Amino acid sequence: MRIFHLSAECYPVAKVGGLADVVGALPKYQTLAGHQAAVVMPFYDRKFTRENEFDIVFRSATLLGTRRLYFEILKERNNVLGFELFLVRIPGLIDRENIYSYPDETEQFIAFQICFLDWISYSQQLPDVIHCHDHHSGLVPFLLQHSKLYTQLSKIPTVFTIHNGQYHGAFGWDKLAYLPEIDLTKTGLLDWSGGINPLASAVRCASRYTTVSPSYLEELIYSSNGLEYLFFLERDKGVGIINGIDTDIWNPATDNMIAAKYNTIKVSAGKQKNKAALCTRFNFDISKPLISFIGRLVFEKGADLLAEAITASLADYAGRVNFLILGAGDPETEMALQELKEKFPADTSVYIGYNEELAHLVYAGADFLLMPSRVEPCGLNQLYSLRYGTMPMVRSTGGLKDTVIDYGEEDGYGIRYNHTSVEDICYSVSRAIALYADPKKLQALRKRMMALDFSWDVSAKQYMELYQSLNTIII
């Protein structure tokens, strides 16, 4: 089966968060299973594109409104990722360093989708399925079916995966002219709340939509930033498939980014060496429990509560626990965390920024990983931490609920709490400190965590079954 994944991110080409991890792994596992999986993404002027070799496989021009765009499709030459990688380059529009946040972002992603469709319209070998990820490729299912330019593509089944339902990529009807000629009787399929909403359109027009955990599929009906009624109406088209993790990259026994490699048998000594490296770097006392947080410093992740919750915890446990935060995001949260570090220099440390290597070391060296997310479609951090024998402390929501069982329950291995609140975070901290005081129990739980299997094998198979079922669906 030939599968095209369309995405704004793909590890290691360009990563901001978990979307990149999934799009960098799923096609690899599909290729290993004998399928022809490819990723198509915008060209970014980054380390990966500078250091690898590409062939130009297609060159053409298209229109974005009245603007004529010349574009190229580049193909990575040496199969370094284990799957085909195609980049859409449009000089002056899609050839910059950053992935998001340019003022013409809407134009960038519309152009990305148009160029992709133009390119495959000329292709001799059409894909069996087009798999779109998040709103950046959300207009493709609509355009395939309702633009005259792409009639020959209209039978290709599409899957749309929602990694984050909070962001819709919505824009005003004044930008309708950027789309290619469409059937104007169908504009209702683009509209939500008086604007063009790529996420809503994809949910309606894709053959199927998926969420990255079964719980999140249900939660979208109650909380999806204004699309609740849409998810209520379209519920039967949705499927929840939990993310896997790329065990080639996230494996403490082979990970070159950590200070000492270890496996389940050597977990105690291995974690201790990695913790020592972290404690030296951040000036912590290794004998104390180390609780960390890794992630985007945004409201969804509960990051706004970290400074207050850590301050409250330290009121009870000063000198008995250390906190390490790695992340970047909302300026107010970044500032509050910097202040926290200045206020409690012996107990806390904060690294503002994105650092892939440090993240690996933290998964390996910390004792606990705090995830007080308000919204967590799947969450990969808890899966990585489990793989490294680091206990996740999670709020029961979305994928966190689906993957972490509280250690107080039968076969449990994590810490769970119900609310993204200072009280619940503090309560989870007190439980972590108590558990740390019982090294034998913690050691047994670490072995249990590391024995869990969250590899892609099962989930990749579920996606294949979904694709295969689409051939029989009449949209």
* Among 3, 19, 130, 241, contact with ligand ADQ (rule: CB under 6 A): 19
Q: Do residues 427 and 459 make contact, with C-beta atoms less than 8 angstroms apart?
A: no
How far is Cα 191 from Cα 197, in angstroms, rounded to an integer? 6
Geometric angle at alpha carbon 405, from 400 and 410, rounded to 5°: 170
Closest CA to 8 of 167, 128, 153: 167
* Among 238, 270, 379, 392, contact with ligand ADQ (rule: CB under 6 A): 379
Q: Residue 15 CB, nearest distance to ligand ADQ (Å)?
A: 7
- Which residue's entry shows tokens 């894909």? 127
Non-local CB neighbours of 457 within 8 Å, separated by 6+ positions: 29, 244
* Among 238, 240, 377, 389, contact with ligand ADQ (rule: CB under 6 A): 377
- Which residue's entry shows tokens 């070799």? 53
x-or-dash string of contact with ligand ADQ, 189-218, rule CB under 6 A: -----------------------x------
Residue 179 near ligand ADQ by CB under 6 A? no
Q: How many CA atoms lie within 13 A of 20 on its CB side?
A: 13
75 annotated to bind ligand:
no
Residue 170 near ligand ADQ by CB under 6 A? no
Residue 376 near ligand ADQ by CB under 6 A? yes
Residue 296 near ligand ADQ by CB under 6 A? yes
Q: Residue 348 CB, nearest distance to ligand ADQ (Å)?
A: 16
Q: Restricting to residues 383-422, which ones interact with ligand ADQ according to CB under 6 A? A: 399
Helices (H), 55-173: 105-121, 140-146
How far is Cα 441 from Cα 438, in angstroms, rounded to an integer? 6
How far is Cα 440 from Cα 422, in angstroms, rounded to an integer? 29
Closest CA to 81 of 261, 258, 249, 242: 249
Nearer residue to ligand ADQ within complex by CB, 278 or 359: 359
Residue 270 near ligand ADQ by CB under 6 A? no
Q: Select the span of 16-24, 91-99, 117-125, 332-340 touching ligand ADQ (CB under 6 A).
A: 16-24
Residue 21 near ligand ADQ by CB under 6 A? yes
Residue 13 near ligand ADQ by CB under 6 A? no
Known binding-site residue numbers for ADP-alpha-D-glucose: 15
Contacting positions for ligand ADQ (CB under 6 A):
17-19, 21-22, 163-164, 212, 243, 294-296, 326-328, 354-356, 359, 376-381, 399
